[in-house]
Amino acid sequence: MRIMSSSSRPHRVKSKTFTLHLDSGILEKLTMEAEEQGLSVNVIANRALKKHVEWDAVSRRFRVASTFSSLLVKLMTWVPDEDARQLGKSQWLHEWRAVAASYNQEHGIEPGIRILELFSRYGRRFYFDQATIGSTRILTLLHGLGRKWSLFYEGLLETMLSESLEGEGVLETMLSKSLEGDVKRFSLTSTDNQVVAEISMDPLKNLQPPADDIFKRIRIPLGRRERRTYKSADLSPIA
């Protein structure tokens, strides 16, 4: 079987052709799958190889496990609200951050964005999307697993983004200076099945004026509960 590989990025690189020797049974199933999806065998094979490079090898190294969503929901029912948030913080510090660093050694928000994209695409734990409006970057994480998983992802995102605040530690701090590409401040908003992060980036990075006074009072509404001011200088113990 001959495979033609190419880049799906805007600036495409020259394709290369190489040969794979597949078992006849695998090739037959691959052909049937291609016909059902209306795609070429080459497209499906490229996707499988890309998944192996981007996800399978790394997830095996870091022992990333897959399970049913119903089990995740059931397990979280026994976790108190604040512990769910702390669990999210712990996961970023002790697991997700290491995986992100294995992909990208850059400073700032990009390694975290990359790992969220990969967990969304291959781990299928949530749907992830992002958009940029002026100097504000908006991250949307839709998980459909209930309120406590929103708390979990709030803790994870809050810890991830706080690491891009140049060690300032408090979300309401209005930075007097920043480096290109750094997060200046952010807010988190959640519902029972979704978490949204609004990030004010350094305008030098986006060549846009900063958003108006959106982030002067950083507050994180937690589901349907009362809004509360939230600071990243959290002294709670993390497992």
Residue 64: pLDDT band (50, 70, 90) is confident
- Structure tokens, 82: 């604040």
Region 95-121 average pLDDT: 83
> What domains can be seen in the chain, in order of their start residue?
2-61 (no CATH), 69-229 (3.90.1520)
Which candidate, 161, 168, 236, places its Cα nearest to that of 201? Answer: 161
Region 63-71 average pLDDT: 86
With 70 as the cut, is the pLDDT of residue 59 above it? yes
More confident residue, 74 or 168: 74
Secondary structure of residue 91 in the 3-state scheme: helix
Whether 110 and 179 have beta carbons less than 8 Å apart is answered as no
Region 145-170 average pLDDT: 82
Which candidate, 72, 97, 95, 76, places its Cα nearest to that of 85? Answer: 76
With 60 as the cut, is the pLDDT of residue 11 above it? no
Residue 106 has a pLDDT of 66
